Amino acid sequence: MNYYCLTATLLAPLAIQRTRQNNAPGALPYLPGSSLRGAVAAKYLREGGSPDDDEFRTLFIENPVFFSNLLPTDHDGKIISQVLPLTSVSCKRYPGFTDENGHGVRDILAKKMLERIDPDNYSEQACIKCDNDLKGLSGFWNGNMVAPRMFQPTMFFQRHTGIDRTTGTVAPAIFFITQAISDFQKTLTGDYECQILSCGMFMNDRQIAVLEPLFKTPLFAGQDRTRGMGELQVAVEPFNIETPDIDTWDRNFKGIIKHNAGDNLDPALLSGLYFSLKLESHAILVDEFLRSTTEIELTLPCIEPVLKVTKSQLIRGWNDAWGLAKPDDMGIIMGSVYLFRYTGNNREGLRQYLNKLAIDGKLAIDGIGLRRAEGFGSVLICDPLHTRKEAI
């Protein structure tokens, strides 16, 4: 298994509807892994392949590729974007990173943990620059603490009228709106650049050998493909992935706990080894009876859950092969954060377990929960943003 970076250049606007309701025309600002997977499968079959081929089976059935969400990125497409955690906050009036003329983004995971333990010490935080309230900030960013940058695609609305089938003219009282990601973006200097989406994916040599020829010509994804929407040129390149340094993360996180708690610090809070897990895509978690849950169970003993900051989300989809809607699933939203503490003595064992989870093992390759081949349940271990004291 090797790690690859996929970049998709939009050759036409891309529309992925948020809901199945026609009266709510919102579109997603990214391309979900399930749509990418559907687009690749459709292309394979359209070019004369069959679902019984070995090539098709190696991509989608036996040990399938887990297609990640393609997220907006910069104009080079060299960065794999990250999701801002649900614990990140910014100024209500001037949200965003300081480098991008916002009033800064900070993370409140440690603060939330202390508030949970001692609710009396709860204090509303205000922006240090303008004293307005802080509000949660969501979106995609480059994950770079030194030069942070948000990636926001340009979204636009298209207006449509209905055509009367008898007269061939505009039908009265039929007017609807759809939303889409624009295929270009205007830069600060006034130039126009192509909109690029990127993601990281694990694949073996056989899978990449089947995929590469498929990416030589454009793919089509999303709605309104017959009107020329959703055309993408995909490229794939090997990518290096870094191992998270769990010990440094734990040390820095304890520093934040000390800083936030001040004189009220309970020394017991500094025992054990903390680590966090952030959902990079929506996750569909179920318990042993297949009921939906918000808990993540790690199998190593002596790991205790400390805090989770999650939101749920109804996950809908459409299966082109069936011509039917996929069953709705209740999921946990991307950006959700889980904080754990290890209280055992075998730290080396824990480090190996987490590195295995993070890099070459179960979590990073397989993710968590159900429908992982469609990009659900991708995780990031120990996001450094949680251990940042100052706003960036």
SS3 262: helix
Residues in contact with Zn ion, shown as a per-residue x/- string from 32 to 71 under the rule CB under 5 A: ----------------------------------------
**Number of amino acids touching Zn ion (CB under 5 A):** 7
Q: Is 130 in the site for Zn ion (CB under 5 A)?
A: yes
SS3 84: coil
CA dihedral 177, 180, 184, 189 (to 10 degrees): 70
Selected binder of Zn ion within 91, 110, 382, 392 (CB under 5 A): 91
Nearer to Zn ion, 129 or 351 (CB): 129
Look up residue 352 and give its amino acid.
Answer: Q
Nearer to Zn ion, 27 or 84 (CB): 84
| Stretch of 15-23, 89-97, 109-117, 300-308 contacting Zn ion, by CB under 5 A | 89-97
Selected binder of Zn ion within 40, 80, 127, 134 (CB under 5 A): 127
Cα Rg of the chain, angstroms: 23
Q: Is 106 in the site for Zn ion (CB under 5 A)?
A: no
Q: Is 89 in the site for Zn ion (CB under 5 A)?
A: no
Q: Which two tokens stand for residue 162?
A: 């209905």
Residues in contact with Zn ion, shown as a per-residue x/- string from 140 to 159 under the rule CB under 5 A: --------------------
Nearer to Zn ion, 92 or 347 (CB): 92
Selected binder of Zn ion within 103, 149, 254, 282 (CB under 5 A): 103
13 Cβ contact list (under 8 Å, min separation 6): 156, 158, 180, 181, 182, 183, 229, 230
SS3 212: helix
Nearer to Zn ion, 150 or 380 (CB): 150
Q: What is the DSSP string of 20-55?
A: S-TT---B-SSB-HHHHHHHHHHHHHHTT--TTSHH
How many CA within 13 A on the CB side of residue 47?
17
Angle between helices 33-46 and 205-214 (to 10 degrees): 70
Nearer to Zn ion, 43 or 106 (CB): 106
Selected binder of Zn ion within 57, 129, 225, 326 (CB under 5 A): 129
| Stretch of 27-35, 131-139, 171-179, 252-260 contacting Zn ion, by CB under 5 A | 131-139
Binding site for Zn ion (CB under 5 A): 91, 94, 103, 127, 129-130, 132
